[in-house]
Amino acid sequence: MYTQFYGLREKPFGLGPDPRYLFLADSHREALAHLLYGIEQGEGFIAVTGEVGTGKTTVCRALLQRIEPGTEVAFIFNPQLSATELLQEIASELGLDAEGKTRREIHEALNNFLLAKKSEGRKVLLLIDEAQNLAPETLEQVRLLSNLETETSKLIQIILIGQPELDAMLESPSLRQLRQRITVRWRLTPLSPSETRDYVRHRLRTAAGGPRDIFSELALREIHRRSGGIPRVVNLLCDRALLAGYAAGASTIGLGLVTQTDRELRGPTPSAARKTGGALLRWAFPVLVLAVLGVAAGFGVDRWLLPDTREGGEAPLAAAQRAQVPAEEVEPTPTAIAERSTGSAAREAGSDPFAPLPPARLITPELPSVSEAPAGRLPPVAAPPPTRGTSAVAAFEPPAPIDFADALADRAPGRTMLDAINGLLAVWGEAPSSANRLSLNQAQSELRQRGLFPLVLSQSTRRTLEVLNLPAVIELQADDGALRNVALAGFDGPVATLFGLDGSNSREVAWSSLERRWNGRAMVVWRDFEQLPGVLTNGSTGTPVTWLQQSLSGLGFYRGETHGRYDTATANAVRSFQQSHELRVDGAVGPVTKMALYSVLTVYPAPRLRSEGGLE
């Protein structure tokens, strides 16, 4: 349908393994290099794991194209077999007759076959895809195959390819003999933001027979954010976005179309999307039932954040910790994020502890407008949030540049929180609020209904927000001294992306212009994807701790067994993670450590302030 409209010869984002569309990201190339090295060196066991849709089959096919001619390959696609059935399938793949034979007879036939190939100087490779589906008994049979060897070399080389559950299986004590024989091991990771961009452009170029840029830069960043860098999800999202763009007559796919398409793909209710499983389940942004938001109140930021090692200074969050306002305790002002006054003088004088602070002194020089952002920045992109139940996607025209100071002054104080919250909901993939206006408490309630946690900071800096790396509502001061709220959706060097200045459109503003008007107040919003208990610490047990150990292991901080007990090794791994991410080192996993974990675990598709991830 859309191919002719966009100048394409065929659909570029099919899910079939077409070799013409082969794209190897750094993780794929490194995995392939490890596989080829292991085969060349005659290693007995090799294991490659990766999340659903990260390209494991792509690596398999690339490997088969690169192995030396004459190599005998048995490729097992469906390993949900008994030990005997697996032997029969291997024998059949190698051209042997295993019909009606016992396990011992098949084993003997395989041994004779492998010795014959060895004498001919030919290698034999057994490749098992979806190996996480192998039963322990079957895995043990695979291990026994590796016993087929001469005095100097293995007769068969075995490659196991599977999802992360395979890693967990291999860590079990019952399979320690197999684990010890795996000499080459690699885990595929999702695409980085730049790789997602290159991946999309590569597929468009292949389908068009030449360069064909259909997605805007902002749209490509949003595709990465919403897909988590999972190639299969990128394909689904891009294909549907092109279809929506064709229906709307849009020659370029922008952020608005990607946002709308993502909502449509996830369906009308997050609870229904929860049932899809795997990476698509996490991509679906399930609404989480949060029994108490008092977690943030009960464990202050001072408990989580690390003093900075920079001479004479504090960590970015340590500076904010003393002024953190528990979200449950904050009373609203009409439009501004309020700060609780705890000084005894204020209480004795009977002053309102919830009143906004006096207006900050503004810098005298005229502030640059949006149009004065550094050269080369993208034009503003419209992203109107759709209403629930709407399936049609409109084509959005980029609005004309506006003056930052004027736009801030023109926003009605009574709507500023509503506009900011709607912008924040948009970047989280949520439908806009149906309210006409929102106070702070109402905004927090709205967020909780969507399964989002608000964390209010009354004194923060850009570095604070960079460390947390999540969108936030921040409070700015207009020229008339009144306070306005905007949603800070992203950083890109000296430029910030804001919602709330121009209706539902996003705007890119020079950070220096914004910083002059920011009083340091922010409400950072996050989602507890795994619905973890309030704080994980020594003595905690069960599935949450298993998840923590697996996550820290994947990040390189934990090297012990994933036994689900929060022991000394787990606490030390948490401390190492906290220190490397500038958090307070206490060995306990509270809300801020959870936020940092979700931010670096790219399988969780949380919107991030910094498109490239990490810290400067």
Using one digit for the tens of pLDDT, what is the confidence trace for 373-423? 333 333 333 333 333 333 333 333 444 445 677 777 766 666 778 888 988
Nearest alpha-carbon partner for 455 in 430, 424, 483: 424
Give the side-chain half-sphere CA count within 13 A for 63: 29
Instruction: Please identify every stretch of the chain with a pLDDT value under 70, giving residue numbers as ranges.
Output: 267-403, 410-414, 503-504, 611-616
Rounded Cα distance between 54 and 235, Å, is 12
List, for residues 603-612, the tens digit of each pLDDT value. Answer: 787 888 875 4
**CATH, range 193-283:** 1.10.8
The enclosing H or E element of 145 equals helix 136-145
Query: Which superfamily does CATH assign the domain made up of 26-187 to?
Result: P-loop containing nucleotide triphosphate hydrolases (3.40.50.300)
Instruction: Give the pLDDT score at 149.
Output: 79
Instruction: Give the pLDDT score at 197.
Output: 94
High-pLDDT (> 70) share of the chain, %: 75
List, for residues 479-538, the tens digit of each pLDDT value. Answer: 777 788 889 988 888 888 888 777 667 788 888 888 888 888 899 999 888 888 889 998
Instruction: Give the pLDDT score at 459.
Output: 78
Rounded Cα distance between 23 and 504, Å, is 36
Instruction: Give the pLDDT score at 273.
Output: 39
Rounded Cα distance between 82 and 140, Å, is 11
Residue spans of the domains in the chain: they are 26-187, 193-283, 295-526
pTM value > 0.95: no
Instruction: Give the pLDDT score at 224.
Output: 92
Which CATH topology does 295-526 take?
Cathepsin B; Chain A (3.90.70)
Contact between 227 and 200 (Cβ < 8 Å)? no
Instruction: Give the pLDDT score at 150.
Output: 78
Rounded Cα distance between 585 and 590, Å, is 11
Q: What is the DSSP letter of 89?
A: H
Per-residue tokens: 246: 């064709």
Contact between 510 and 495 (Cβ < 8 Å)? yes
Give the DSSP per-residue string, 441-460: HHHHHHHHHTT-EEEEESS-
Could you give phi then psi for residue 465, rounded to 5 degrees? -70, -35
Instruction: Give the pLDDT score at 113.
Output: 92
Instruction: Give the pLDDT score at 243.
Output: 92
Residue 525, SS3 per DSSP: strand
